[in-house]
């Protein structure tokens, strides 16, 4: 039965019984039990059998509860269970519990406390006060859960401490005279230490140390110190020191705002290092080293937002030496963009590049400031006709080399319709207008910093184009959950075939890639510096099969063009002859477990494949597979030497059990018939313990980087910490 009880310094119980006294602060209690006994003389209430007491968002359950009204004391015995509504204080199980009238402060014996993050504290006796200090005598702490099949089996690790204090204000557990035990074997003694109690998402303290090695700094050790400023911001200080004398302090500041965030990371230090610029190696002794990296984003209002991702460094190898950033080319940008309407978009940005490879000369890297782009599209009108307009104003700079400023406006009229037999027609008429002012450009080459034959001046051009396309989609339903579609495609494009002046530098369209995603477009090329040229007829088809019930998909697309002019593009692009290369793609997706993709570019003149790409992805319950193969034969890529390339990669991981995972990976240079790299890993990961071993070997020297071996060992105890080192052995 249920009783609603109101207490005015005395307990009001069932059956209308009123124990009078001085009127105090009203408190509401909801009580349930199989049986109640009331001693009016001693003012004692005894509840037995499935007792439940709910008060102030706290719940107490027990076999027997005695309430001493004179002393405001509650004693619970037998299968005692206590928790609160938000479960911040965890779950408390005990044989004996003595509490005050608020069900908070008291004495406890033979108890188990399960914290909010799942970790556990067991002790023989304790004094509890969730909001202040709780003291536990001869306690055991662990994040490991007992084995369900054999609860007496030793835990992977546990901490036995003479005294444990839980500070409710700082949300930490403080251990004194503690031993760390692995499988019940004491391995490490510490007189005093503290850890978070799991109720907060982040707390100040030491993080796992960072250990690694490389040729410039040698063996490096870093110890991060995390400082939680408040719920929205924090700082991490990481001092680094190496055996070769490098000393660095890294500071990372993060803050979350209502409308955005910032992540600022900077470091400063001294050390010895080597830096290769072009073909010249420079050596520095006790020189300044440092970096600054800023990421952030802000929603200004419903239409405008601001963002940045900027990285600068003292030297090319610094970021990789200290494992801050290992990318070979680092792009920095700051931007603002506005979604002006459903048909209008603006973006203004600055872009810069920083190369970390030996061959990179950063004084010749370009940076764009400003780059302003605006897109506009009118609302559809008669016969689904609309205008579109793309405008760009960009100024490109270099510390040492050519520069240019350009204004480009691409305006077009578009229309689409469906004929009587179901054919879909799309049309496009457009003119691209470009105005350039350039400095230090060599008209006969794309050298960034020419010594002679430099041109400075103005250049302008108009590039019209016309495009009409016809598609005839045919769809057949095979069942309620599957269908098949075939769509032939035919298009005609008209554009000037003239050669563009070399006085206009090619900064944004150096690589020409022909594939099924762009062969059917009016403009197959990227950027505005080199618009697509020549008139052509393009033909092909698309095929697709979908089974929505089994989640299967099969697709195929093939396209080819006949160009009325040849030699408009370099050899190796597939666009240099009248008949372009045949491009296609084929794929099979089965239930999101198997994904097979194949792309090709076939040269009909030489009857050879110019490019082939194969990808294989498998995601199963026990293992995952990612494999790829790419082959380039006489393929034009401005940054690739030589143009023949054949490469294969594979990564396979398998779950040996719910906790054990093993994996292997390799990169293979099929053209030279040798492995570029190979390696593997073995990990164990459960709720309380993480261990892993990683091995990787690079067998090829490139960009003055020596061949090396990498061995990484990960060891971590949940909530306690661990190590995550990576050591290169040269």
pLDDT (tens digit, 9 = 90+) per residue, 672-699?
Answer: 888 888 999 999 988 888 888 888 887 7
- Looking at every residue in the chain, the average pLDDT score rounds to 86
Nearest to 393 by CA among 403, 406, 383: 406
Confidence grade of residue 723 (pLDDT, cut at 50, 70, 90): low
Q: Which of 198-207, 257-266, 274-283, 671-680 has the highest mean pLDDT?
A: 257-266
Which pLDDT belongs to residue 707? 59
**Is the CB of residue 491 less than 8 Å from the CB of residue 520?**
yes
Q: Kindly tell me the sign of the dihedral angle through the C-alpha atoms of 128, 132, 138, 144.
A: positive
Q: Please give the average per-residue pLDDT across 4-13, as a whole number.
A: 35
Q: Is the pTM of this model over 0.75?
A: yes
Our CA dihedral for 601, 602, 606, 610, rounded to 10 degrees, sits at 30
Helix (H) or strand (E) holding 172: strand 172-182
Q: Tell me the per-residue pLDDT of 274-297, one tens digit each, with 9 for 90 and over.
A: 777 666 777 888 889 999 999 999
Q: Is 640 a residue whose pLDDT tops 70?
A: no
pLDDT band of 91, cuts 50, 70, 90: confident
In this model, does residue 638 exceed pLDDT 50? yes
**Residue with more model confidence, 85 or 248:** 248
Residue pair 304/283 in contact by the 8 Å Cβ criterion: no
pLDDT of residue 699: 77
Confidence of residue 86 (pLDDT cuts 50, 70, 90): low
- Distance, in Å, from the CA atom of 625 to the CA atom of 651, rounded to the nearest integer, reads 6
Q: Taking residues 233-257, what's their average pLDDT?
A: 92
Residue 319 confidence class, pLDDT cut points 50, 70, 90: confident
Average pLDDT over residues 386-401: 95
> What whole-number distance in Å separates Cα of residue 493 and Cα of residue 350?
34
- In sequence order, the 6+-apart residues with CB closer than 8 A to the CB of 196 are 171, 172, 173, 203, 205, 719
Q: Answer with the residue of higher pLDDT: 705 or 467.
A: 467
- pLDDT at residue 509, rounded to an integer: 84
Distance between CA 695 and CA 714 in Å, rounded? Answer: 12
User: pLDDT band at residue 87, thresholds of 50, 70 and 90?
Assistant: low
CA torsion 589-514-638-678 (nearest 10°) is 20
Residue 267: what pLDDT? Answer: 95
pLDDT of residue 712: 73
- Given this model, what pLDDT does residue 309 score? 96
Residue 5 has pLDDT above 60, yes or no: no
362 three-state secondary structure:
helix
User: Would you state the pLDDT for residue 216?
Assistant: 66
Of 123 and 217, more confident: 123
Residues comprising the chain, all counted: 730
pLDDT band at 586 (very low <50, low <70, confident <90, very high): very high
Give 65: exposed, middle or buried? Use CB within 10 Å, 0-12, 13-18, 19+.
buried
- Asked if 504 and 559 count as a contact pair (C-beta separation under 8 A), the reply is no
Query: Per the structure block, which two tokens stand in for 519?
Result: 């062969």
Between residues 451 and 158, the one the model is more confident about: 158
pLDDT at 359 over 90: no
How do strand 247-256 and strand 218-222 relate by DSSP bridges?
Answer: unpaired
Q: Is the pLDDT of residue 4 over 60?
A: no
Sign of CA dihedral 703, 707, 708, 709: positive
pLDDT higher than 90, residue 407: yes
Torsion 150-153-156-157 (CA) sign:
positive
Residue 106 above 70 pLDDT?
yes
* Structural contact between residues 48 and 64, judged by C-beta atoms closer than 8 angstroms: yes
Distances (CA, A) of 358 to 270, 274, 290, 315, 638: 21, 10, 19, 11, 18
pLDDT tens, 588-637? 999 889 999 999 999 998 899 999 999 999 999 899 999 999 999 888 87
* Position 214 confidence tier, pLDDT thresholds 50, 70, 90: low
pLDDT over 90, % of the chain: 54
Residues sharing a CB contact under 8 Å with residue 465, sequence separation 6 or more, in sequence order: 428, 429, 430, 431, 432, 493, 494, 495, 522, 523, 531, 532
Percent of the chain whose pLDDT exceeds 70: 91
Cis peptide before 688 (omega within 30 of 0): no
d(CA 207, CA 222): 10
Alpha-carbon distance 317 to 143, whole Å?
Answer: 41
Question: For residue 725, what pLDDT is reported?
Answer: 54
Instruction: Write phi, then psi, for 65 (nearest 5 degrees).
Output: -130, 130
500-549 pLDDT per residue, tens: 888 999 998 888 889 999 999 999 998 999 999 999 999 999 999 999 99
How many whole angstroms from its chain centre is CA 216? 29
Query: Is residue 704 over pLDDT 70?
Result: no
pLDDT tops 50 at residue 1 = no
Structure tokens at 722: 């661990």
Residue 426 pLDDT greater than 90, yes or no: yes
Higher pLDDT, 497 or 214: 497
């Amino acid at each position: 039965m249920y009783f609603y009880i109101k207490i005015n310094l005395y307990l009001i119980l069932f059956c209308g019984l009123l124990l009078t006294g001085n009127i105090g602060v009203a408190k509401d209690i909801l009580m349930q039990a199989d049986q109640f006994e009331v001693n009016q003389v001693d003012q004692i209430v005894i509840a037995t059998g499935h007792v439940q007491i709910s008060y102030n968002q706290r719940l107490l359950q027990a076999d027997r509860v005695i309430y001493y009204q004179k002393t405001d004391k509650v004693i619970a015995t037998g299968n005692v269970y206590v928790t609160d509504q938000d479960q911040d204080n965890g779950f408390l199980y005990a044989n004996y519990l003595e509490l005050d009238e608020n069900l908070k402060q008291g004495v406890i014996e033979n108890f188990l406390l399960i914290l909010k993050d799942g970790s556990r504290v067991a002790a023989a006796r304790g004094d509890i006060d969730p909001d202040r200090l709780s003291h536990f005598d001869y306690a055991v702490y662990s994040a490991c859960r007992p084995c369900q099949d054999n609860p007496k089996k030793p835990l992977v690790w546990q901490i036995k401490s003479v005294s444990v204090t839980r500070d409710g204000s700082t949300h930490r557990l403080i251990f004194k005279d503690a031993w760390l035990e692995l499988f019940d074997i004491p391995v490490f003694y510490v007189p005093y230490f503290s850890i978070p109690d799991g109720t907060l998402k982040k707390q100040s303290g030491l993080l796992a140390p960072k250990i690694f090695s490389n040729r410039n700094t040698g063996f490096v050790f870093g110890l991060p110190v995390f400082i939680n400023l408040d719920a929205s911001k924090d700082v991490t200080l990481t001092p680094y020191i190496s055996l070769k004398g490098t000393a660095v302090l890294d500071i990372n500041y993060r803050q979350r705002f209502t409308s955005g965030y910032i992540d600022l990371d900077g470091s400063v230090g001294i050390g010895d290092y080597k830096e290769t610029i072009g073909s010249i190696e420079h050596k520095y002794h006790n020189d300044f080293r440092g970096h600054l990296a800023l990421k952030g984003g802000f929603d200004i209002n419903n239409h405008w937002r601001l963002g940045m991702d900027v990285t600068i460094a003292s030297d090319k190898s610094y970021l990789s030496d200290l494992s801050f950033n290992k990318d070979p080319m680092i792009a920095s940008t700051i931007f603002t963009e506005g979604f002006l309407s459903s048909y209008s978009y603006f973006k203004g940005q600055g872009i810069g590049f920083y190369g970390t490879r030996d061959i990179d000369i950063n004084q010749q890297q370009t940076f764009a400031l400003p780059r302003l782009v605006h897109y506009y599209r009118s609302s559809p009108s008669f016969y689904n006709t609309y205008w579109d307009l793309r405008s760009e104003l960009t100024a490109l700079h270099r510390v040492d080399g050519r520069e240019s400023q350009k204004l480009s406006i691409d305006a077009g009229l578009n229309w689409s319709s469906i004929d009587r037999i179901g054919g879909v027609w799309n049309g496009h008429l457009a003119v691209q207008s470009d105005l350039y002012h350039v400095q230090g450009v060599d008209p006969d080459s794309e050298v960034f910093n020419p010594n002679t034959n430099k041109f400075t001046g103005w250049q302008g051009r108009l590039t019209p184009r016309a495009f009409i396309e016809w598609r005839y989609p045919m769809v057949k339903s095979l069942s309620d959950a599957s269908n098949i579609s075939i769509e032939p495609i035919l298009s005609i494009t008209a554009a000037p075939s003239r050669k563009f002046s070399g006085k206009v530098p090619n900064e944004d369209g150096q690589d020409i890639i022909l594939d099924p995603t762009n062969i059917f477009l009016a403009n197959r090329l990227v950027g505005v510096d080199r618009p697509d040229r020549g008139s052509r007829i393009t033909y092909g088809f698309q095929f697709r099969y979908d089974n929505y019930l089994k989640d299967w998909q099969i697709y195929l697309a093939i396209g080819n063009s006949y160009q009325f002019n040849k030699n408009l593009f370099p050899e190796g692009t597939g666009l240099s002859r009248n008949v372009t290369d045949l491009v296609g793609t084929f794929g099979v997706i089965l239930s999101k477990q198997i994904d097979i993709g194949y792309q090709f570019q076939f040269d009909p003149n030489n009857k050879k494949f110019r490019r082939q790409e194969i990808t294989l992805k498998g995601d199963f319950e026990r293992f995952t597979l990612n494999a790829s193969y790419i082959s380039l034969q006489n393929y034009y890529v401005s940054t690739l030497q030589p143009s023949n390339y054949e490469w294969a990669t594979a990564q396979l991981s398998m779950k040996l059990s719910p906790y054990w995972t093993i994996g292997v990976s390799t990169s293979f240079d099929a053209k030279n018939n040798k492995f570029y790299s190979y390696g593997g890993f073995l990990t164990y990961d459960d709720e309380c313990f993480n261990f892993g071993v990683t091995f990787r070997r690079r067998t090829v020297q490139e960009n003055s980087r020596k061949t090396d071996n990498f061995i990484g060992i990960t060891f971590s105890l949940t909530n306690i910490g661990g190590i995550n080192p990576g050591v290169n052995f040269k």
